[in-house]
Chains A and B, each alone.
Chain A
Amino acid sequence: MATTVLGHEAHGVAPAHEKTGLWSWVTTVDHKRVAILYGIGALFFFLLGGIEALLIRIQLARPDNNFVSPEFYNQLFTMHGTTMIFLAVMPMSQIFFNYIIPLMIGARDVAFPRLNAFGVWVFLLGGLFVNAGFLFNAAPDAGWFGYANLTSTQFSPGLNVDFWMFGLQILGVSSLAAAVNFFVTIINLRAPGMRLMRMPMFVWMSFITMVLLLLAFPVITVALILLMFDRFFGTHFFVPMGGGDPILWQHLFWIFGHPEVYILILPAFGIISEVLPVFSRKPLFGYAAMVFSGVFIAFLGFGVWSHHMFSTGMGPIADTFFSLATMLIAIPTGVKIFNWIGTVWGGSLQLKTPMLFALGFVAMFIMGGLSGVMHASPPADLQQTDTYFVVAHFHYVLFGGSIFGLVAGAYYWWPKMFGKLLDEGLGKAHFWLQLVGFNLTFFPMHLLGLHGMPRRVYTYPKGLGFERMNEMETVGAFVLALGFAVFLYNVWKTWRTAPPAPADPWNGATLEWSIPSPPQEWNFPEIPAVTGRDPLWEAKRQRGGPLPEPQRVSGQGIHMPAPSYWPLVTAFSLPLLFTGLMLSSKIGPWGIIVAVALLFFGIFNWLFEPSYTSIPGVRGKTGHSH
């Protein structure tokens, strides 16, 4: 909208090095920096979620334990789930969406760089908001799924549920902004010749994830709005006494919640589909089937939500429908697993760290998928649901799946992002500690659940046989922690001492490996033209050997979007709005009014940003709205 505010474009010469310093990070709109900001947040919250898990495991190591109080335990398991899902796995996926997608499709940035920055600031602020409850000893404590009517003011009178409810709303805005951005980016900013069926599989899976985000998040937005109205305005949407129905919450939540789990796993599917071919030195097996199975999973994923509700007594027809739909989803999922095995079959496997985690993903996901099929049968599920059997299942797919996949991506793309390779020896140690620790922690949970231990319990009595397995799981959790510590040490050590990484350390197939490590701000000196899948392998094949190391260029004449602080300013209005609501009994509507004013102020300035040519050090702006 600001295109012709001044009637002329203003652009300066891009300097050879991107600006450093705090201000340049605060105002960044560069997708690569946004990715790193997501990474810093994700790492911090993953650690937080991990500590919460360790505290849970210490409490459960012994029966009738009182290491933590029941109140604090309920906050711990609620926050562990909320943090890992919304503040760890999703932002970790965002690291790779942000850094890698533009590189893979041959673009200079995303379609809306300022919207991108807005998304990461909202995420960071939302993550802090949700955790702020700890400061008031009122961290969310009604489970990450917040079932009504436990979350009503009658049964949750404190601030805990408010922090959860509003925190998730804020995070939802971030996810939606990113989804619009990447949906448009993938459709519209592909390099010439990159038809949809030539896109790297990571881009495809991410694209499908964006569609899921766009369609699933509004549903939980509405659910949270209804809950907020119950808690703040006295409505009875989920309050039985006034005619409301707690089961509506369950339906709305899971209509969001089930696509959400595909949002959590599809990016990892995409990462694996990049790593396995490169380290098998042969292409992905069954590209088209992989695309269509991904689409099918996403589509079907909206039709299975009530498999989370088999114990609510929906009646045999509903049970049957959701059971069969859930079993149906196993088919495209199986196709993917077989295609991955088909990829490594007959290859020349390079068992470097990224590949180890990728193979570990497949191995663990097979198990998680199988326990999922067991859940798909309602009669069997009536024994399994709400027990540690489910906890085992979803950790196998979310940790054994998503986390293993995301870690594979981290080791794989680390040299591209930071210009250094992570140490192989430490990487292997990390892998084995994580594999062993993971199985030690989560495999016994299958048995625990089948032997009668329900979930979300702060303790259990002696005499039910739960002691030994719980002990084992606690040991496993600490092995996992050790593995992660090895990773952190690896990062720290190589940051200082490792030699610079080449552009293409792994003999990659996709465009990101054709530019320097790390890339220059504009990514490609010239937008490449693409003639097939695996463009870099094709180029190397035509050349008869490896490509020469790409040179860094001056970037003269390349127009890049200018930095801006308006995304950050606008982002602040969101936590401010909900804080204002929470304080409204004390300060009236003023918090809300100030927040809304700030929101409008931020948006208007964002849209009408003038050019900055006179400000030294700041590159000229194209004056274009984005």
Chain B
Amino acid sequence: MTDVAHAAPAGHLETSTGLDSRKLAIWTFLGSECMFFASLISTYVIYRHRSLVGPFPHTAWTDPATGQVYEPIIEIPLVTVGTALLLFSSLFIVLALYGAQRGNRKMLLGWLGATICCGLFFVGMQVYEFTHFVHKGLTLQRNMFGASFFTLTGFHGTHVSIGVIWLITMFVLALRKQLPPENAINLEMAALYWHFVDVVWIIIFPVVYLMQ
């Protein structure tokens, strides 16, 4: 029971499995989120080549009415950097958690800050990419690729943004010395969520950007 967990020193949790209920809750929620992203990814896979007009992700298209040429719109380099940073940020948060669990406040703050920076870069990269695509003629309404692309990556990006807010909150708590080892579990929950968001991107990146 949650009150029992509090009354005793950290680590003494009287749950049937020995697992902290909050950790179990996050895992459960993430299981549900798997179905959420599975549905979005499936929708993308179904629709990405069913556009009636361009721009297309990997092939060029000429508008028969105006003669305008639309180059393939997916640009790999920037997104690859963002992907790499997101992947590294999962490592960084593991290091931050390590610091938190051992009461190493410097380590916690440093690596947590690095994680947040990576997250911010990723979101920034996506915002740039979205505006760039719109500028080149791809919108939600333009075609089926646009609709499913923006919806899938947009919801992922929203999840990343919520993760960043969560991590910033943790960072502020750590600054105020309110994240001692016995509360490290709160960071662990955030880290689990962060890893999940990363894993989803590991699936989205090849499906959207690499597969032709």
Q: Are both chains from one complex?
A: yes
Q: How far is the CA of A219 from the CA of B40 in the complex (A)?
A: 9
User: Is B207 in contact with chain A by the CB < 8 A criterion?
Assistant: no
Which partner residue on chain A sits nearest B29 by CB separation?
A180
A560:B182 contact, CB within 8 angstroms: no
User: Is A184 in contact with chain B by the CB < 8 A criterion?
Assistant: yes
Q: Which residues of A contact B186 (CB under 8 A)?
A: 1
B2:A624 contact, CB within 8 angstroms: yes
Question: If the complex has contacts A180-B29, A226-B43, A237-B43, are A9 and B7 also in contact, measured as CB distance less than 8 A?
Answer: yes
User: Is A236 in contact with chain B by the CB < 8 A criterion?
Assistant: yes
Cross-chain contact of B35 among A1, A218, A624 (Cβ < 8 A): A218
Q: Which residues of B contact A624 (CB under 8 A)?
A: 2-3, 5-6
Q: Chain A contact residues (Cβ within 8 angstroms of B): what range?
A: 35 or more
Binds B, one of A16-24, A66-74, A240-248, A500-508: A240-248
User: Shortest distance in angstroms between A438's beta carbon and chain B's nearest beta carbon?
Assistant: 35
Q: Which residues of B contact A109 (CB under 8 A)?
A: 1
Binds B, one of A55-63, A187-195, A318-326, A447-455: A187-195
Q: How far is the CA of A233 from the CA of B154 in the complex (A)?
A: 14
- B155-185 near A? 1/0 per residue, CB < 8 Å: 1000000000000010001000010101100
B6:A111 contact, CB within 8 angstroms: no
Cross-chain contact of B2 among A225, A252, A561 (Cβ < 8 A): A561
Cross-chain contact of B40 among A179, A222, A233, A626 (Cβ < 8 A): A222
Q: How far is the CA of A77 from the CA of B183 in the complex (A)?
A: 52
User: Is B12 in contact with chain A by the CB < 8 A criterion?
Assistant: no
- B107-142 near A? 1/0 per residue, CB < 8 Å: 000000000000000000000000000000000110
Q: Which of B1-50 contact A (CB under 8 A)?
A: 1-7, 15-17, 19, 21-22, 24-25, 28-29, 31-33, 35-36, 39-40, 43, 46-47, 50
Q: How far is the CA of A255 from the CA of B43 in the complex (A)?
A: 13
A188:B147 contact, CB within 8 angstroms: no
Cross-chain contact of A188 among B19, B31, B51 (Cβ < 8 A): B19
Cross-chain contact of B3 among A184, A214, A255, A622 (Cβ < 8 A): A622
User: Is A280 in contact with chain B by the CB < 8 A criterion?
Assistant: no
B144:A236 contact, CB within 8 angstroms: yes
User: Shortest distance in angstroms between B22's beta carbon and chain A's nearest beta carbon?
Assistant: 8
Q: Which residues of B contact A216 (CB under 8 A)?
A: 35
User: Shortest distance in angstroms between B137's beta carbon and chain A's nearest beta carbon?
Assistant: 15
B3:A3 contact, CB within 8 angstroms: no
Q: Which of A524-561 contact B (CB under 8 A)?
A: 559-561
Which partner residue on chain A sits nearest B180 by CB separation?
A4
User: Is A459 in contact with chain B by the CB < 8 A criterion?
Assistant: no
A236:B1 contact, CB within 8 angstroms: no
Q: Which residues of B contact A180 (CB under 8 A)?
A: 25, 28-29, 32
Q: Which residues of B contact A218 (CB under 8 A)?
A: 32-33, 35-36, 39
B43:A222 contact, CB within 8 angstroms: yes
Name the prevailing secondary structure of the B interface residues. Answer: helix
Q: How far is the CA of A113 from the CA of B40 in the complex (A)?
A: 31
Q: Which residues of A contact B151 (CB under 8 A)?
A: 225-226, 229, 235
Cross-chain contact of B28 among A183, A226, A245 (Cβ < 8 A): A183
B39:A219 contact, CB within 8 angstroms: yes
Q: How far is the CA of A305 from the CA of B5 in the complex (A)?
A: 42
Q: How far is the CA of A245 from the CA of B183 in the complex (A)?
A: 49
User: Shortest distance in angstroms between A400's beta carbon and chain B's nearest beta carbon?
Assistant: 31
Q: Which residues of A contact B35 (CB under 8 A)?
A: 214-216, 218-219
User: Is A5 in contact with chain B by the CB < 8 A criterion?
Assistant: yes
Q: How far is the CA of A131 from the CA of B148 in the complex (A)?
A: 31
B1:A237 contact, CB within 8 angstroms: no
Q: Which residues of B contact A188 (CB under 8 A)?
A: 15-17, 19, 21, 24
Q: Which residues of B contact A113 (CB under 8 A)?
A: 2
Q: Which residues of B contact A234 (CB under 8 A)?
A: 140-141
User: Is B90 in contact with chain A by the CB < 8 A criterion?
Assistant: no
Q: Which residues of B contact A225 (CB under 8 A)?
A: 151, 155
Q: Which residues of A contact B147 (CB under 8 A)?
A: 229, 235-237
Which partner residue on chain A sits nearest B5 by CB separation?
A624
Cross-chain contact of A252 among B6, B29, B39, B148 (Cβ < 8 A): B39
Q: Which residues of B contact A194 (CB under 8 A)?
A: 16
Residue of A4, A112, A625 ringed by the most chain B CB atoms within 10 A = A4
User: Is A221 in contact with chain B by the CB < 8 A criterion?
Assistant: yes
Closest 10 CB pairs of A and B: A218-B36, A222-B39, A559-B3, A218-B35, A234-B141, A235-B147, A188-B15, A624-B6, A214-B32, A243-B144
Known interface pairs A188-B16, A237-B147; 15 further A-B residue pairs with C-beta atoms within 8 A, sorted by A's residue number = A1-B183, A3-B183, A4-B183, A183-B28, A184-B21, A215-B31, A216-B35, A221-B39, A229-B151, A236-B144, A242-B52, A243-B50, A245-B50, A622-B7, A624-B5
Of the A-B pairs whose beta carbons lie under 8 Å apart in the complex, a sample of 26, sorted by A's number, is A3-B182, A3-B183, A4-B180, A4-B183, A112-B2, A176-B32, A180-B28, A187-B16, A188-B17, A215-B31, A219-B35, A222-B40, A222-B43, A226-B43, A229-B151, A233-B141, A235-B140, A235-B147, A237-B148, A243-B47, A243-B52, A248-B46, A559-B4, A559-B6, A622-B2, A624-B3
